[in-house]
Each structure stands twice: as C-alpha cells, then as structure tokens.
Structure 1
Amino acid sequence: MLFDDWTGLGRVLVVGPLAYLSLVVILRVSGKRTLTKLNAFDLTVTVALGSTLATTLLSKSVALAEGVLAFALLVFLQFAITWLSVRSSTVGHLVKSEPTLLLHRGRFLDRALRDQRVTRVEVLAALRSQGAVDVASVGAVVLETDGSLSVMTGKTDPSVESGTLRNVVGAPPE
C-alpha cells in the first residue's frame, strides 16, 4: 500500500520530467490563449490537461508517447474550437456564455440570480472581497463567462437595465 517497487518510482522519475517538458513545449507553441480561463470551456481544457499529465505520470498502462499525443490532441482541439468561435457566431454561442448582470445600482436582479443559480450571499461575499461596504453604493455586479463575479463601483450607464450589458466596459457587443 505504501510502496510497490522501485520500478514504479523510477518510471515516475523518468516519465515525469519528460511529460512535463512536453506539456510546456506544446503550450508554448500553442500560444497564450490555450490556458486562459475566459469561459467554462477553457477551464475544462485546463483541467483535462492536468488530468492527462497525472494519468501519464502515474498509470503504468499509459506510455509517455500516448500522454504526449493526448496533450497535443487537447491543445489542437482547444485551438480549433477557439479559432472557429472567433470566426463563427454560431460556434461562439455554442461554446461561450454571455456575462449576466446580477446587481444593478444597489438592487439585486432576482430573476438573473435564480437563472444563474447564484445566491445573494455569494454576491455579498464578492462585494466584501472587493472592499464594498454598502450594497447601495455598488454600480453593478456581473457574473462573467468564466464564473467569476466582477464588481463595478461607481455609476453605471443608465441604459444598463435588467441584465442587458450593452455599454458596460468590456461587455461583448450584441
């Protein structure tokens, strides 16, 4: 249970650095976009890469070449989907979600909270983490496409109403 044999340890010592180096090279070649967490799809790919690395390191039934091929395949698929989503609004809508306004001018938008399965307590925690003392002084809280909550203090544009994010800094055009 604590130790099987020296061969397993030796395999990890040899395969570990090689698998890690392969992953780093593949990620460097593929560009910065591969590991961004701009949306849930990106996060899933990042987790899948980590899982593949762990499997390659610890599973005796997975050869290093298979692990490296799996890294390359995941990165290629990530590249293909993001390339397509930039060029096709249909693919973009299938892969990415839109930001959702949860609080506007100190008022919770209960339907948006319910639709996104976010509680007021979670929004209040985000406000506290950003140093907001009074809900009424907050311009907006947005649930971003990556699942994070953005807190905007100060005034928001009057055209931002009922979950519409037109004119909010950084919001995608509709």
Structure 2
Amino acid sequence: MITALHHRTALGEMLLAATGETLIGAWFTGQKHFPDTLPLVAGARPAAVCAEAARQLDAYLAGRRTAFDLPLAPRGTPWQRAVWEALLAIPYGETLSYGELAARLGRPAAARATGAAVGRNPLSVIIPCHRVVGATGSLTGYAGGLDRKRALLAIEQAGPAILG
C-alpha cells in the first residue's frame, strides 16, 4: 500500500510517497514526470517516513542539513536505479556533468541515456539530481524547473548554516 503526504516547502509543495516505511517518491507538485496517479488508499494515514522526509527537507532547504538519512526505494529500470545511486555519490556543494556521470558509470558514450535517467529521478532533492549540469557547467534541465535547480545549488554553495 502506498501512502502519501503533501508538504509545503520553501520551494513549493511536494508530494512525498512511501510504501511501508520506505520512501519511493518526492515530487514538486506539477513537475515534469509528476505521477498522474498513485494507487493510494483513501483516508490512509501517511507513513512516518513521509513526515521524517518532510522534516529533513525543511532542514536541508534552510541550510541546516547536508544529507538525507531515509530508507529509499525508487522505482525504475536497472539503468535508472544505477544512475540514481551514482547521484547519491555527488558530494554536497559539488556538480558533475552528464558526461562525467556517464563515465563514472562505465558508459562514457551514454550521456544522453544518463540525462534521461536523471530526469526521471522520483526522489527530487533527496537524490540530488540538481547537482548534474551541462558539459560547460551550464544549468540544463531539471524536472522541478530551472529556478528550483538554481535555488538548490545556491543553498549548497552558501554552505550549511549548522552542520547536521
């Protein structure tokens, strides 16, 4: 059973979804690839992991947290899951190009496929797809919108207000 929580963040409303106590989704409302439907049970209480994700997102967006500590289970193809796992290895405050990410995955010619998988990341912010930029360092594509990507990178460039 999937449960969900709508949470208002400093960057807009997000939908946090979980199955059991594992987070499977964190999307900005209306973002590209926002799920049209989720098999939610009407009236079901959101899993505690959704509330914890909301708390950690708020702390991250306020500059008080540099990483997330949540059980994650994003749903996707084996390639997508490999890309999303590689995104988790990009350090806070750093960026990487799509080509560099593809090379890290052992497929240097797969920058486009890597970009497609990055764009389908179902755990916005938590799996830091905003840290991936164009080959020249330019801000390219972000399912949640380039304004949000700019804001997320600015938060990380400013550094944590309180290490946590």
Task: State if a TM-score over 0.5 links the two structures.
Answer: no
Which structure is larger by alpha-carbon Rg, 1 or 2?
Answer: 1
More strand by share: 2
More helix by share: 1
TM-score scaled by length of structure 1: 0.33
TM-score scaled by length of structure 2: 0.34
